[in-house]
Each structure stands twice: as structure tokens, then as C-alpha cells.
A = this chain, B = another copy of it.
Amino acid sequence: MRGRSIPALAADPRFQEIPRERVSDRVAQELLRLIATGDLAPGERLPGERQLAEMMNVSRVSVRAALQQLKARSVVQAVQGGGTRVVAAADELESALATLVRANPSNLRDLMELRASLEVWAARRAAERASPEQRAEIDRCLRVMQDPQRPPKHKAEDDLTFHLAIAKATGSAVYLHLMSVLSDILEEMFSYHRYALYARPEDDRTFLDDHARIAAAIAEADGPAAARAMETHLRHVQARYREEGGAEQPALNASHA
């Protein structure tokens, strides 16, 4: 159908910018609508490509093209033989940084250093301007970690929670966002390192002391002390990493044996 439009109409500005309705775009938009309205919940497996094609009266090619878009935007994730699932909304900044790392894995190490550098700033700023509630939250995180009953399996997670609490206390939405994203990336890229960090009791002890010092400085609103404590902590972590990972950055494709 849709023959050429009448010239007179095409000249009408109201109709000129219909960017040429591509079928695949229409499908993609429809799928996004279904996701937005909750008809397709995150984690849910959406109908097969063949079925979708039939449902929407388009070819499987168009469905695939639409899905390619959504995959590239990390809206969905497909597994051969498995199916295509709606993924939890992805972040633009995260995707940008992940791309950077994929382009050159050595960037990962730099990213870690940048993150560390920012945490020093965060500690100082949190000390200087955290609200009482935020200080209490940090303290609560600390106590959880200090609890002797706390299962070791939660240590890595608790650690992250602690640092994110500090991030919140900076009152900087950008920083909190950036830190969350960086944590996700680093976590994903070599999470096993993080776990390994807590393998030895003496390190655990060291880190706990570090954290206590940081929290104390923040509680006392002593910015410089918080910065110093965080720097010390990061030096400890870095030393542990070096010891653990040997020399350079861990190969991303390293076998997990």
C-alpha cells in the first residue's frame, strides 16, 4: 500500500518530517511501549522472533532488526537457544564507560585509579557536609561490617554499601551516579578480585580499621582526616591487589581456574 503521497501534501511542513517510517523502528517502538507499560516485565522472556513477526505482520528480519536496536541499547538481552529477555534498564553513562574499557582493557586499571582518587574527595566532602541521617547511615554500615556474626560472604557487598553510603553523603548526584556505574563495571569485570580481597583475615582486619577511621572522621566532620583515612585505605587495597593479581591488570579473558 502506501503509494507515493500527493506532492501538495508532501510539501506541507506537517508531513515533511516523517523520517520515513521504517518497519523495524515501528516494531522497536512497539516493544518499548510494551516494556514501558509493564506488559513485558524486566526479566521476562518475550515471545519468539517468529511469533513476534506473525503477531505484528512483519518479517522476521524486521523483528530482528528491531531487537538488534534494543540489544545495542541493552534494553533486552538475547541468548542463543534461550530466548530474549527484558533486562533491567541500563545506564547511558555505564554503557559509555564499558565501551571505553572494551576498546582497551588497560583502561580498566586507569578507571580504578580514577575511582580511588574520587573516593578521597568524596570522603572529605562527606565529612564536611553530610547530614546527620547520612552520618548515621554510614555508621550503621560500619557496625554491620564490624559484627563478628556477619557471614564472610557478605563482606564484599558490605564494603560496597559502605562506600556508596559515603557517596550518598557527598550530596552530589553526579558523584553517586558515577560511583555506582564504576562499581558495577569494576564488579563485573573482575569481581573475583573483590572476593579474594577478603580471603585473608589479617586484611579483613586492616580494612575494618580503615573503614572505622574513615567513618569516625566523617562523624566528626573532619574533612582532611577523612581524606587522609581514605587515602590510607586505598593504599592498603591497592597493595593487596598488587600482591594478589601479580603484576599488571588481570587479563579480561583469564581463565577462572
Q: Which residues of A contact B (CB under 8 A)?
A: 2, 5-6, 9, 14-15, 20, 24, 32, 36, 61, 64-65, 68-73, 79-80, 92-93, 95-97, 99-100, 103-104, 106-107, 110-111, 113-114, 117-118, 120-121, 125, 172-175, 177-178, 191-192, 253, 255-257
A121:B110 contact, CB within 8 angstroms: no
A114:B178 contact, CB within 8 angstroms: yes
Q: Which of B72, B80, B113 contacts A121 (CB 8 A)?
A: B113
Roughly how many angstroms separate A61 CA and B64 CA in the complex, as a whole number?
10
Roughly how many angstroms separate A32 CA and B104 CA in the complex, as a whole number?
12
Roughly how many angstroms separate A25 CA and B257 CA in the complex, as a whole number?
27
A99-B92, A118-B117 known; A110-B173 Cβ under 8 A: yes
B253:A103 contact, CB within 8 angstroms: no
What residues on B are CB-neighbors of A61 within 8 Å? 61
Assembly stoichiometry (copies): 2
B178:A2 contact, CB within 8 angstroms: no
Roughly how many angstroms separate A32 CA and B102 CA in the complex, as a whole number?
11
What residues on B are CB-neighbors of A92 within 8 Å? 95-96, 99
A9-B256, A65-B68, A96-B92 known; A32-B103 Cβ under 8 A: yes
4 A-B pairs with least C-beta separation: A117-B121, A68-B68, A72-B72, A110-B172
A257:B6 contact, CB within 8 angstroms: yes
Roughly how many angstroms separate A2 CA and B120 CA in the complex, as a whole number?
38
A249 to chain B, nearest CB (A): 12
Roughly how many angstroms separate A70 CA and B97 CA in the complex, as a whole number?
16
What residues on B are CB-neighbors of A121 within 8 Å? 113-114, 117, 120
